[in-house]
Amino acid sequence: MKNPIRLGLLCLGLLCSMPSLWAADIPVKDGESIQDAVNKASPGDVVLIYPGTYKESVYIDKDNITLRGVVEEGKWPVLEGEGKRNDAILYSGNDFTVEWLTITHYKGNAIMGQSGNNFTIRYNKVIDTGVYGIFPQFGKNGLIEYNVLSGIEDAAIYVGMCDNVDVRHNEVFDNVAGIEIENTRHALVENNYAHDNTAGLLVFITPGLPIKTTFDVILRNNFVVNNNTPNFGAPGSIVSKVPQGIGIVVMAADDVIVEGNIVSGNKTAGIVITDLAFITDISSDPESEPNPDRLVFLDNLMFDNGADPVAEVKALMLTQFSRTGPDILATPGSAQEQDNCIINRERYTSFGVKKWSECERRNTADVLSYRIPGGAPSEPVTATNRTKLLYQGICAGCHAYNMRMIGPPTLAVQALYRNDAQGIADYIAEPHKVRPDYPAMPSQGHLSPELRKDVAEYMLKVTK
Amino acid sequence: MRALLSGLLLLPVLSSLAAEWRLSEVCPAGFRPEQGRCYLQSLYGEYASLQDSGVGGLKTGLPPLREGFTPQQIDLGRLMFFDPLLSGDGTLACSSCHQPSKGFADGRGLSVGINGQLAHRSAPSLWNVGFLKRLFWDARASSLEEQMEGPLYSPIEMGNSREHLLKSLNESAAYPALFKQAFGDSAISLDRIYTAITAFESSLVSLNSRYDLYANGVHEVLNKDEIEGMNVFRSFVARCAECHTPPTFTNQQIAILGTPEPDGHAFDSGVQAVTGDASQRGGFKVPTLRNIEFSAPYMHSGRFETLREAVAFYTGGRGHAVPEGEKLNLHWHIWEPNLTDREIDVLVAFLKTLSDESFMPPLPSAVPSGLRPVVDVKPN
């Protein structure tokens, strides 16, 4: 009877330290809980979600987990928010992948990330779901592709405060904003189909956020057509101020390249370039530079834009003796300097780009992706370094190796306990004052018995 | 006359004490020594942060901390922090409004200064204050050194003057020798006073809460309700984590919420009064939520007595407490999340997982002036 238990423990140890070799598939069937499967999963594991309806919010606070829907004969797994659950999927782990899910009727976001690096979000359908559809925030190095999103009251795909993200091959329609790149650097938005939104593609700096810049963005080979849906954004939100009928908006962002897009049928304007004055009822932020700079407009196909512009744009166009709106509109006072450039400008109806120079660059064929080759570094927390982190972060705060700090030196503890890790583990659960000249130690009783023992063993082995 | 008399009475005690004061040679808990200076050791030191700003999700590095002070400087700052010698009349210390037992705040809506005068705003907690780039509710100071000149010399707070502060420290029996231990010679300057107090305040680090264990991969320390609360906190319905970003639980930005003033108080224009920018009217710094459990009442005005009331404010609807006729550019994260009672309860449960006082500094039973140290103020 002893051997199987020992073997089991051994395997557990290996699983923790070598996740990639031992990656497992964890199936979830209709009627079961995705969260339970995530809780069981170890780094490297794939949670396979079979067709069915799953009424839950799922959070993933571990590294290297994949949620993969299994689609069988056209039947999808559906995450159903019933109009009362907050977000469908919340992830904070690195190397997270979510794919092949249908997500609908959540109050918050469909897929939201906070600071997870190396994320992949693809082949998902997001329908009538809350504030944002796909919303990675504070993440570095991500891929968002082949998703379809509709009926979102803010941005369907919102890349916020991220770096190095590719957004490609998605379809976004019937949303307020289609794809929004906000306070983000190094983003490639390519081959997307943005139609029938209030505005199709948006590249913004929003003031008042801790990350202050948006630059180095390529909008390439997208279809941006017929974005004329009346604005149904929540009152007070920033997109609720976007006038309907705009294909592309560049607000305050710098070094944006627009190339090879088909922009047509947008009733106010094909592309609007503007400064932060565009949103009038937001508090100013001295750290946010409000003007769009160094824009590069390469060849694009633009026609039939501005057929019925909103009043402000109509008034502007009348100053040019034109009743219909433009393909390209740089609002007065913004982006009218020579450091912006455009090629073949005679092909478009435009306003405010007269002083732009001719671009030196003719295409962006040299840029294949903005993701980081090999990924952003991340260190999965394994059992070993978890113990080390605990020791260094908490114990070593008061116990130096061979000198007096707050508590006695680790050397002294080692001499006292020798091989008795359990003795240390018991003590840290319920510390009592031993030495009159040292302060009492705070209890670490909230740590599990196993962790206390692990940390105690680690403490006995520390050598420097 | 009374002051002089009590001064004379104290003199013999002081001179005997002066010889005994010895500043600590070890770094405070959580700090490791490196070439005689103290640097924070934290689980978060292992992680990176986008643009090095220290905002984001669970495994995110910290913003830069004011650190690298010597143990002696930190200890000298600690003694001065609790010493009422720093106020104009010897009745108030920094710790009068920043009490250790109250999350380094004072448990009051509006703080009480010299001669019982009321300050204009609630005293903020000092836990993790060394990570902040802007100080004061209206963000008018950009360093701790700059900040402390406010309360020290405000006639309604500590009521001191620069000349009087220098004079009283120089004339004290113990301080010149302590400055020598901390700075190499016994000269007492304003800069050195500010440096030492900054050093102490920067050592008030609280990053070992149960939440932090969770963030660093020890998931079993939070119970089901607390995890549910964390998910409401970071959900895009409540949107708390948008401004109270981990790991410091503040994004260090200005936000306009439209929280109410206490009854009978005039509207506080906040950042607008500093910058003159009307778009920032009613704007205040987003405060940290660490150790929030201990620092009631809440908001710049101390208007909310309990955490639950403070949380419930956000679900009352966008702008519901803005006085009639006020035009405020409310933050776009403020909306109407319609949280259920249960969601509010679990949010409060989650906020309490941010409590950690394991690096509470040693509280002095005596201070170098010989005056009674202000360690804990009993409520009136």
Torsion of CA A65, A71, A76, A79, to 10 degrees: -10
Of the pLDDT bands very low, low, confident and very high (cuts 50, 70, 90), residue B19 is low
Residue among A335, A339, A350 at smallest CA distance from A300? A350
Any idea where the domains of chain B sit in the sequence? 11-41+66-201, 210-354
Give this prediction's pTM. Answer: 0.92
Burial degree of A305 (CB within 10 A; 0-12, 13-18, 19+): buried
Q: Residue B76: which H helix or E strand, with range?
A: helix B71-81
Q: How do residues B306-359 score in pLDDT, each as one tens digit?
A: 999 999 999 998 999 999 999 999 999 888 889 999 999 999 999 999 999 989
| B242, pLDDT greater than 50 | yes
Residue A458 token pair: 């680690």
Structural domain of residue A144, as residue ranges? 130-356
Do residues A177 and A302 both lie within one domain? yes
| B6, pLDDT greater than 50 | no
Residue A21: per-residue pLDDT:
57
Task: Name every chain B residue with its beta carbon within 8 A of the beta carbon of A19.
Answer: none
Residue of A nearest to B251 (CA): A210
Q: Is the dihedral of CA B17, B19, B20, B21 positive or negative?
A: positive
Q: Which residue is it, tokens 């005056």?
A: B371
Does residue A404 lie within any of the structural domains? yes
Q: Are the beta carbons of B55 and A211 separated by less than 8 Å?
A: yes
Average pLDDT of the residues of chain B: 92
Do residues A428 and A320 both lie within one domain? no
Enumerate residues 6+ apart whose C-beta is below 8 A from A18: none
Number of structural domains chain A divides into: 2
**Helix, strand, coil tally for chain B in percent (to 5):** 40, 5, 55
Give, in words, the CATH class of B210-354.
mainly alpha
CB B95 within 8 A of CB B79: no
Q: What's the CATH code of the domain at A391? A: 1.10.760.10
Residue B143: per-residue pLDDT:
97
Query: Kindly report the CA angle at B55 between B54 and B56, in degrees rounded to 5?
Result: 130
The residue length of chain B stands at 380
Please say which residue of A341, A356, A371 terminates a domain: A356
More confident residue, A317 or A142: A142
At A62, the amino acid letter reads: K
Q: How do residues B23-81 score in pLDDT, each as one tens digit?
A: 999 899 899 889 999 999 888 988 889 888 999 999 999 999 999 999 999 999 999 99
Restricting to A residues 97-116, those with a Cβ less than 8 Å away from any Cβ of B are 107-109, 112-116
Give the residue ranges of DSSP H helices in B235-374: 271-275, 307-314, 341-352
Angle between helices B190-202 and B144-153 (to 10 degrees): 110
Do residues A184 and A327 both lie within one domain? yes
Of the pLDDT bands very low, low, confident and very high (cuts 50, 70, 90), residue B364 is very high
Q: How do residues A373-424 score in pLDDT, each as one tens digit?
A: 999 887 767 777 888 888 888 888 888 888 877 788 899 999 999 889 999 9
A-B interface: how many C-beta pairs under 8 angstroms?
175
Query: Domain B11-41+66-201 is classified in which CATH homologous superfamily?
Result: Cytochrome c-like domain (1.10.760.10)
Interface contact A27, partner B, CB < 8 A: no
Rounded distance between C-alpha atoms, residue B24 and residue B71, angstroms: 6
Residue A301: per-residue pLDDT:
98
Interface contact A439, partner B, CB < 8 A: yes
Q: Are the beta carbons of A90 and B59 separated by less than 8 Å?
A: no
Residue of B nearest to A92 (CA): B57
CA dist list (Å): B238 to A409, A411, B83: 45, 48, 42
| A277, pLDDT greater than 90 | no
- Average pLDDT score over residue span B219-227: 95
Q: How do residues A155-196 score in pLDDT, each as one tens digit?
A: 999 999 999 999 999 999 999 999 999 999 999 999 999 999
Q: Are the beta carbons of B329 and A393 separated by less than 8 Å?
A: no
- Average pLDDT score over residue span A311-327: 83
Residue among A32, A67, A71 at smallest CA distance from A48? A67
Q: Residue B215: which H helix or E strand, with range?
A: helix B210-215
Q: Which of A251-260, A352-361, A374-383 shows the lowest per-residue confidence on average (mean pLDDT)?
A: A374-383
Does residue A432 lie within any of the structural domains? yes
* DSSP result, B155-197: TTTT---HHHHHHHHHHSSSHHHHHHHHHSS----HHHHHHHH
Of the pLDDT bands very low, low, confident and very high (cuts 50, 70, 90), residue B250 is very high
Q: Which residue is it, tokens 């407490």?
A: B321
Q: Are strands A111-114 and A269-274 parallel, antiparallel or unpaired?
A: unpaired
Does residue A411 lie within any of the structural domains? yes
Do residues A408 and A290 both lie within one domain? no
Rounded distance between C-alpha atoms, residue A370 and residue A218, angstroms: 9
Does residue A338 lie within any of the structural domains? yes
